[in-house]
Each structure stands twice: as C-alpha cells, then as structure tokens.
Amino acid sequence: MQKTKNISGFFSSRKSISVKNLKYPGPNKNQTMAIFKNALRVPDHGKLEPWRIVVISEDCKKKYISILEERGKKLHIDPLKIEKSKTNILKTPLTLAVICSPIKNSKIPEVEQVLSCGALCMNILNNFLANGWGANWLTGWMANDKELGRLAFNNSKDEFVSGFIYVGSHEDKSPDRQRPKLEDKISYFK
Ligand SMILES: Cc1cc2nc3c(=O)[nH]c(=O)nc-3n(C[C@H](O)[C@H](O)[C@H](O)COP(=O)(O)O)c2cc1C
C-alpha cells in the first residue's frame, strides 16, 4: 500500500480497483475515520448535508447479507446475482453504503443535493485510493431497490442508496481502461 504524495500524479493515474482484486487487510477504524473526515469536505449548496454513510463492518456483514438474501429472493433476483452480491461483501474488508438524503421543499434544488452526494461518493473513493487502498463504487440491484434500503439502512421514503463503496488492499497491475479524449469532451464557448 503506497500513500500518494503528489496530488497531480495521483489524479493523472487514479483508477478504481475491481472488487475481485480487493483483499484483506482493510483499513482499521482510525484510518477509516481519518479518511471520512477528509472526504466529508465536499461541496454542499446551502450546507444541508443531504447524505450519510453506513459502514457495514465485519461483525455485521452476516446480518446485512441475510437481509439482502431474503429481499433478493422475494424480488426473484437471479440467484447468481445474489451470490455475487454476497461474495462482494464477504471478500471485501470494508463496504460502505452512501445514502442520499435529499431535503424536500428546500430552496436548494433536489438535483443539487443529489450532485453533492455524488461528489461525496467520489471524495470517499479518491481519499481511499490516495491513501493507497483499492476501492470501487458500485450500485446494482442492492442500491436500486428502495425497500432493501429501508430494511437494511432504515432509509426514509425520500432517501436512496447512491452507491456501495468497497475498500481493501490490492496488488492491481491491470492496465488502465481507455479514458475520454480531451478533444471529444472539451470545447471553448465562442
Ligand atoms: C454511480 C455509479 C454506479 C456504478 N455502478 C456500477 C455497477 O453496479 N457495476 C459496475 O460494474 N460498475 C459500476 N460503476 C462503474 C465502476 O465504478 C467502475 O469501476 C468505474 O467506472 C471505474 O472508474 P475509475 O477507474 O475512473 O474510478 C458505477 C459507477 C458509478 C459512477
């Protein structure tokens, strides 16, 4: 695990690590909390803090898995998909659910609150990566099923899971994927 010293160097090569390449050990509680403290420094119009993080720690993994299994069966999710969801949780040292909690009837448009939550997810991801951990942001059925969010994380009717962030050690040497071309994505206003 190598911590980033050079910010520009970090951003020029940062990439997520596939969950299949994450392994033990993971960050301990102090390391995780230090990363959260930095990651919570996120743009947030109106200072509404429309998000929260639920840590699925080692001793509660089985409880979360039993909830997801029961819900997955009820929804007739492909058993292979359920098994993959379980494996992802079990083999990864640390899994976080980032919950978006938009404040209704605020003068800040809901879309801006959702964007702030996306920024939080990215900040969490990058902070773990910059500290030398492997991490990946995934959604899938576990995030998209609102009832599972309610059962597992006590989500209110307005809340939803913006993503699960998986964190662990890694020795990833896989090549980077193709990145967007500047000329396709950047234009100058004329
Ligand atoms: C909101 C969101 C949800 C995602 N959900 C999934 C997913 O469910 N399954 C998947 O294979 N990739 C998913 N991805 C993509 C992974 O995060 C992927 O590893 C990522 O594109 C790697 O980009 P990076 O290397 O620039 O960090 C998602 C990405 C985002 C932004």
* pLDDT per position as a tens digit, 9-64: 899 999 999 999 999 999 999 999 999 999 999 999 999 999 999 999 999 999 99
Q: Give dist(CA 27, CA 142) in Å, integer.
A: 23
Q: Which of 18, 139, 145, 167 to mutate to test the pocket of ligand 1 (most atoms within 8 A of CB)?
A: 139
Q: Which tokens in the block code for residue 18?
A: 């596939």
CA–centroid distance, residue 190 to ligand 1 (Å): 34
Residue 67 lies in a domain: yes
Q: Which tokens in the block code for residue 186?
A: 């950047």
Helix axis angle, 79-91 to 61-74, nearest 10°: 170
* Ligand 1 neighbour 138 (Cβ under 6 A): yes
Residue 165 lies in a domain: yes
Closest CA to 82 of 57, 58, 64, 59: 64
Residue 54 lies in a domain: yes
Label residue 1 by pLDDT band (50, 70, 90). low
Residue 176 lies in a domain: no
Residue 13 lies in a domain: no
* pLDDT per position as a tens digit, 104-127: 999 999 999 999 999 999 999 999
Contact 152, 68 (CB under 8 A): yes
Residue 148 lies in a domain: yes
Q: What is the CATH number of the domain that holds 138?
A: 3.40.109.10
Whether this model's pTM surpasses 0.85: yes
Whose Cα sits closest to atom 22 in ligand 1? 16
Please give the tally of structural domains in the chain: 1
Whose Cα sits closest to atom 23 in ligand 1? 16
Residue 161 lies in a domain: yes
Beta bridge partners of 165: 96, 137
- Give the domain extent around 60: 27-170
State yes or no: cis peptide before 27, omega within 30 of 0: no
Residue 47 lies in a domain: yes
